[in-house]
Structure 1
Amino acid sequence: MIGTSIPQYIFIRICIFALRLITPLSIFYVSFSLAEYPTSAGERFLLTWSIIEAAFYLFVYIPRKRALQASAQHPPLLEKEERKALFWKCWDKIPHPEYYISRWFLGARPGEVRRDNVKEFYEWALMNRGTESEDELVRRAQEDPEAKIEEEEELKEYVDGVETMLGRPIPPGRGPAKSLRLTIDEVNMRHRPVVWYLIVMFVDTFTAVYLRYNGFLLHRTHLRSALAIFPPRPASLFTRQISSAPDLSYWYRPHTSKTRLPILFIHGIGIGLMPYSQWLIGINKQDPLTATDGEIGIIAIELMPISFRITGVIKSPDDICRQVNMILERHGFDKVVLASHSYGSVVSTHLLKDPATAAKIGPVLFVDPVTFLLHLPDVAYNFTARRPRYANEHQLWYFASTDMMVAHTLARNFFWSQNILWKDDLRGHDVTVSLGGSDLIVDSTAVGKYIAGADLKSEDRAWKDLEWKGEGIEIIWWPTADHAQVFERKEGRMKLAHVLREYAKRKEQAEDDWF
């Protein structure tokens, strides 16, 4: 993640402008060449490339954009008592009520958010409503009037709860405010030229060579699945290792240690494993016990739909957990240290809640997690709705938020009530949460206070300076780090690698837990 300086702002805006200009210029050049066919080799190459870019936009991007606007398949609705319990649990963890309402309603002023607006928001947030037509709503009310009355009473309780939280009355009726409802709003994506995907392919290939040189082996999916990814992955053609999971490829560094646990890593949204490669290699490279005990094994799962590729939609949480378990079983791992970054914390949340995989997870490292306090609007608003101003915000907006498959993953497969993680879910685990003080996505201060057990409304700062001991739930605070920047800093990589090596020593403790 780049910074916020003026030179960086100019650089990122030029990069975005240049990439967005390629397609319209290509269409213009193709149209121009119809009148006068180019004669030189250079002009013919330029025409060929322009045709490729124009065809990619017209016959790949536009049809796929339309297809990806299809309605989300929401998870099963929580029971009424579960919904109420979740509402009040979230209600108790909202440090700034006016900010909470304003951000979920896209910056609306207090008078613009009225009772019907709040009701509509919770119809989506807790009841999976929002896509029905007026006729469907009327028909459902006529078929089961008692259920409709109960639903209205439940929604009234939520609106009254928000009113109590704000400490002021919410005007009746409906105001002009529009709430952020990710899974029913339009999937906000932007076109990428073929040139961009060639850059992605180059970076992916370079990363593959670097990882392979340093002892990692790619386990690709079956050839048909591996070839259904654009841009193509040359590394998939140069490996004989096949993943036991049908939809998950991964990189594996063999586990030779006899006394320590292996590591399972889940990456975040971005250009695959490239940002983490130095850190992953450094876990063993800087390990003083390698010579006597052997190396710590590392499995780094690849999630293609959030890696700037055009591919199939991301699998359901149950499918991902099942396939991760298949990978662990293949390598004979009964216990692992779990590490994840950013969106990877979503997958980690489901691994911790799924009975089959939860039993295999020991200590946990979260870096820039997005799942804690997910009911707060920061993650959803900052990633999908914020109008970018600074260099890092423009980078996030164009290269991540509006990527075709990333946008679809967040808009049609990201359900906050299913993905939220509470400290209660971490019982029995030693956990470290690494947070950046300048995170442009997560309200890292609020998350840090929550993890530390401090009052979210207090000015307590003592938790930021606590020494890491490797016991219980702990925080590592990086005062000036933005989202993912800890991996760009040598100090950050070394510290996080040290945490994993210390956690990997818990094998004997883990074996005691089994019996």
Structure 2
Amino acid sequence: MPFGLEQTPYAIHVWLTTEAVFVATVFMPLKYALHRSPVCNRSIPAEYRERLFRACNANVPNVEKYLNRWLMVSEADCIKRDNVKDFIRWAFFEPGYTREQDRQNEEEIETYTTETEKLIGRKLSPGRLDVKGLGQLLNEAGGSHRSLLWYTVSYISLALMLYNGFNFHRSTLSRFCTIFPFRPLTILTAYRSPARHLTYWYRRHTSKKRLPVLFIHGIGIGLYPYTSFLRDLNSELETGATADGEVGIIALEIMPPWKKM
């Protein structure tokens, strides 16, 4: 044993050993998988691409503003034609796009770019602005190490939602090891989500006149950063409860899959 460690309490030895096992068996394989797994891993036929393109345009009220934010430029006028083409390649074609595939699909890409110009209402400037869009950032997804102790604290914080009137609705037990961070409550809860890839926390809704609250969190490790907000919201709704009944809360957990089932 290295000098000095013989004086370390046994509990610290156990903790450090557990952390080392966690890094070797969970964190490192997960980080490797993230670097090798693209956001989208299969191509779609041309007719579906066109249908998807038109469906997207029908649901985007301001295409220019959307592209401006996606490409993360300060002024819409900075968007150039090749930037839009890069976005189209990322959004509608498979990853690992080769030059040969680009030549084969150039006419289709050009058509989508021209259609985008019509939606914007002006011709885009030629060339490419040196920016890194959100699509490229998503493809560069990585991982930062957090200790097993940190995850344990986050689990305890989530479990405390049970005492605030929430029930956890799990995915199938077969998906327990495919979601990270793991959800131990998946094994313990009796409630099951009707959606295969979606879990959520639910506070009972009894009101006949008012709608329940739907909460959708941002990118992260699920609902852990928002537990205090949900607790306060729950308390406020309980205080404002009327004879009509209670307003419920549905808090979705959008967890990234570790591996495909």
With structure 1 as the length reference, what TM-score do the two structures score? Answer: 0.38
1:194 aligns with 2:165: no
Question: Equivalent residues in 2 for 1:41-80 (5 A)?
Answer: 41-42=8-9, 44-69=10-35, 70-73=37-40, 76-79=48-51
Q: 2:107 aligns to what?
A: 149
Q: 1:466 aligns to what?
A: none
Selected match of 1:170 from 122, 125, 128: 125
Structure 2: segments with no counterpart, 5+ residues: none
Q: 2:99 aligns to what?
A: 134
What residue identity is the alignment partner of 1:94?
K
Question: Equivalent residues in 2 for 1:103-502 (5 A)?
Answer: 104-106=70-72, 115-125=81-91, 127-128=92-93, 131-138=96-103, 141=104, 148-156=106-114, 158=116, 164=122, 170-172=125-127, 174=128, 176-182=130-136, 185-211=139-165, 216-221=166-171, 225=175, 230=181, 233=184, 237=188, 239=189, 241-243=190-192, 245=194, 248-256=198-206, 259-260=208-209, 263=212, 265-269=214-218, 270-271=223-224, 274=227, 275-289=229-243, 293=244, 295-296=245-246, 298=248, 300-303=250-253, 305=255, 312=258
Deviation (angstroms), 1:66: 2.1
Deviation (angstroms), 1:83: 6.4
Partner of 1:39: helix, strand, or coil?
helix
Q: Following the alignment from structure 1 to structure 2, what is the Cα–Cα distance between the partners of residues 201 and 49?
A: 17
Deviation (angstroms), 1:250: 4.3
Q: 1:362 aligns to what?
A: none
Cα deviations by residue, 1:92-137 (Å, 9 ceiling, x for unpaired):
x639xxxx65x64455999997543332233334x34653122433
Partner of 2:156: helix, strand, or coil?
helix
Identity %, equivalent residues: 20
Deviation (angstroms), 1:48: 3.4
Q: Following the alignment from structure 1 to structure 2, what is the Cα–Cα distance between the partners of residues 193 and 266?
A: 28
Q: Following the alignment from structure 1 to structure 2, what is the Cα–Cα distance between the partners of residues 109 and 301?
A: 35
What residue identity is the alignment partner of 2:49?
L
Cα deviations by residue, 1:169-199 (Å, 9 ceiling, x for unpaired):
7244x56444432586211432212121022
Residues 88 and 109 in structure 2, CA contact (< 8 A), matched pair in contact too = no
Structure 1: segments with no counterpart, 5+ residues: 1-33, 142-146, 316-515
Deviation (angstroms), 1:154: 3.7
What residue identity is the alignment partner of 2:110?
E
Q: 2:6 aligns to what?
A: 39
Q: Following the alignment from structure 1 to structure 2, what is the Cα–Cα distance between the partners of residues 288 and 184?
A: 45
Cα deviations by residue, 1:370-407 (Å, 9 ceiling, x for unpaired):
xxxxxxxxxxxxxxxxxxxxxxxxxxxxxxxxxxxxxx
Cα deviations by residue, 1:46-71 (Å, 9 ceiling, x for unpaired):
34333332332233112112213412
Deviation (angstroms), 1:86: 4.5
Deviation (angstroms), 1:305: 1.0
- CA pair 106-220 structure 1, distance change in 2 beyond 3 A: closer
Residues 72 and 133 in structure 2, CA contact (< 8 A), matched pair in contact too = yes
